[in-house]
Amino acid sequence: MEKENKKNKNKNTFKTVKRLLKYVTGTYKVQFVIVCISIIISALVSVLGVQFLKYLIDDFIVPLMGNSTPDYSSLFNAIVAMGVLYLIGVISTYLYNRLMINISQGILHNIRKEMFEHMQTLPIKYFDSHPHGETMSTYTNDVDTLRQCISQSIPQVFSCAISMIAVLIAMFATDIYLTLVVLVMVVIMVLVAKFFASRSSKNFIDQQKNLSIVNGYIEEMMAGQKVVKVFCHEEENKEKFDELNEALCNSMTKANSYANTLMPCIANIGNLGYVLIAVIGGVLAVNNILTIGSIAAFLQYIKAFTNPLGQVSQQMNSIIMALAGAERIFSLIDEEAEKDSGYVTLVNAKMENGKIVEVEERTGMWAWKHPHHDGSVTYTKLCGNVEFEHVKFGYEPKKEVLHDISLVAKEGEKVSFVGATGAGKTTITNLINRFYDIQGGKIRYDGINIKKIRKQDLRRSLGMVLQDTNLFTGTIRENIRYGKLNATDEEVEEAAKLSNADRFIKHLPHGYDTMIDGSGEGLSQGQRQLLSIARAALNNPPVLILDEATSSIDTRTEKIVQDGMDSLMKGRTVFVIAHRLSTIKNSDLIMVLDHGSIMERGKHDDLIKQHGMYYGLYTGAIEID
């Protein structure tokens, strides 16, 4: 079993490496070829520099030592030639390092772009099941380890490999017996490197995993600081963080202790080999088997061979971390995108000779364009009629949370849902948007099965005002315009007036051009909610979903917000999830939910007369929460 797991792991690693190479060869093929050539030239120059030492001693220095009238011109010419060669090596090194920076940054730019673009296609289910902090860690820590690997580790490993091959060939050409001694030392180095690498790699992977967990926890604590302070959980959070931080510290300590011990061990083994070769070479030189230049060159070859081996061993940890990060990056990219088999689209339309006709210009009238298998196309006016037919749904296949839900909301009607937390109120509204797809029954929109409607068009026809307001960093005007990006300033201001947001906006220092951050700092909860209502008003949807939109604001502010929502609800089909039952007395239909089933339905007065569950909720005999 362990052997099979290791085989699968190696297979996944190979796939990851192959996939990373596609980013390089796909966009930066020419630059990468230049990098490879430059690395080869740089490595060969280093080997030729050592070889030059042999000729310098044997062909110039030794003969000149016994000459009473030495001629240094040939030595000067050789040094100049070697200087030119070293200059070529310097230029090659600079070139491949510079190009690798461009390549690595370009690849990371493309990866981040691909990640973000794909993230926009993911279903709500993904974000509900994955901690935001861990996803953020993928964008930051994992991408950064990949940057270091591509820009530094991979070129260095390739350069070291080329250098070692060239040096090995040069050593065999110089003396085969000394080379065999070096190879014995290399085998020992490789075994030592394997020992340390096998122990550090697992800890480096754990380090990245624990780092994402710590980042996720910090992100949660930052977002929930008010809750933390209200419930005085500072000490408990410190203890939890200490626990997570301790796990991170342990994995980092173990990983780096092995990694940092590796280089000294490799270096000392190399030094031992250096001394051994010096002794053996000295004996050979005394017996005139090797020249002094050959011994000097060979000693340099040892350094040129063992140093890259140590560097490769050290860089392997960086590569292992990067591959682990790359697997998480590709895991995000490979997440299944939101499926959409819809083919019914939303188009601009107008009435012509009693028929609905599709037009290019905006007329204020919308229609569903429904193509059929026989090639014909029918148009249905967008009205906002929504019907649930025996709908069954569960977030998990074997755990049903909605049971046989049937309801009809006609154009312009206000339908309200009440019930305890977890009764299924929000789930129903999520199904209208197709954030999740049902397992049984049908949902029809203007008589059309919503599975046939393209999701983007379906959601364009719906507006939502949530309990938790989501604002973005920018001006007040830009936040309202989020509901319709091509809206004019006049349309933005009209939407603000309709929602009553204009009342407070005109008193802000810069009015509609006042800057706010994503948290809406400086605005009250009611003001933030009014901006959400204005955003929905600008979108001008025929169907509106209000998810406990006034539950977190005071009664006085609620009156202002409620007036804004009443203006917005006129002429629209509205679904309301109610927290305060006083706000839904005028609903056309009130549905009382309990554990995913509709227990009661009717108008306010009728339900009160029944003295059932709704009566208990309204009078306080039954708690909503």
> What is the C-alpha to C-alpha distance for residues 524 and 473, in angstroms, rounded to an integer?
16
CA 268 to chain centre: 43
**Structure confidence at residue 6 (pLDDT):** 52
339 sits in the region (left: phi over 0; alpha: psi -120 to 50; else beta) called beta
pLDDT > 70: what percent of the chain? 88
Taking the domains of the chain in order of start, what are their residue ranges? 24-211+255-333, 345-381, 386-619
Instruction: Note the CATH number of domain 24-211+255-333.
Output: 1.20.1560.10
Asked whether the domain spanning 386-619 has the same topology as the one spanning 24-211+255-333, the reply is: no
Q: What is the mean pLDDT of residues 2-24?
A: 68
Residue 1 pLDDT more than 60? no
Q: What is the mean pLDDT of residues 252-266?
A: 73
> According to the model, what pLDDT value does residue 553 have?
57
Report which of 415, 417, 413, 437 is spatially closest to residue 425, judged by C-alpha positions.
Answer: 417
Task: Compute φ and ψ for 545, nearest 5 degrees.
Answer: -115, 120
Most confident of the ranges 257-261, 322-326, 487-491: 487-491
pLDDT at site 520: 65
Crossing angle for the helix pair 73-119 and 29-55, nearest 10 degrees? 150
Residue 388: pLDDT above 90? yes
Helices 555-569, 489-498: axis angle to 10 degrees equals 120
Q: Which of 17-21, 196-200, 335-339, 352-356 has the lowest mean pLDDT?
A: 196-200
The answer to whether 220 and 146 have CB atoms below 8 angstroms apart is: no
For residue 245, give both structure tokens: 């931080």
CA distance 296 to 290: 10
Long-range CB contacts for residues 597-600, cutoff 8 Å, separation at least 24? 597/402, 597/403, 597/404, 597/405, 597/424, 598/405, 598/406, 598/407, 599/419
Rounded to whole angstroms, the Cα distance separating 55 from 61 reads: 9
Mean pLDDT of 483-493: 86
pLDDT score for 7: 54
The single residue listed with the structure tokens 């920018």 is 474
* pLDDT at res. 621: 60
Give the distance from CA 325 to its chain's centroid: 11
Torsion region of 396: left, alpha or beta (phi above 0 gives left; psi -120 to 50 gives alpha): beta
Average pLDDT over residues 88-111: 88
pLDDT of 269-324, one tens digit each? Answer: 777 877 787 787 777 777 777 777 777 777 777 777 777 777 777 677 777 778 88
Structure tokens of 480? 């309202």
- Tell me the C-alpha distance between 428 and 441, whole Å: 13
* Fold classified for 386-619: Rossmann fold (3.40.50)
Q: What's the rounded Cα separation, in Å, for the pair 269 and 263?
A: 10
Residues 147, 149, 155, 159, Cα dihedral to 10°: 160
Q: What is the mean pLDDT of residues 31-52?
A: 84
Identity at 298, one-letter amino acid code = F
Q: Above 60 in pLDDT, residue 535?
A: yes
Residue 215: enclosing H or E segment and its boundaries? helix 176-223
Closest CA to 306 of 270, 343, 345, 355: 270
User: For residue 552, what are its two tokens?
Assistant: 């977190």
Q: 0.85 exceeded by the pTM?
A: no
- Taking all residues of the chain, what is their mean pLDDT, rounded to a whole number? 81
pLDDT by residue (tens digit) across 553-579? 556 666 666 666 676 677 788 888 877
pLDDT value for 2: 47
Return the number of other C-beta atoms located less than 10 Å from residue 529's C-beta.
29
Contact between 38 and 88 under an 8 Å Cβ cutoff? The reply is no
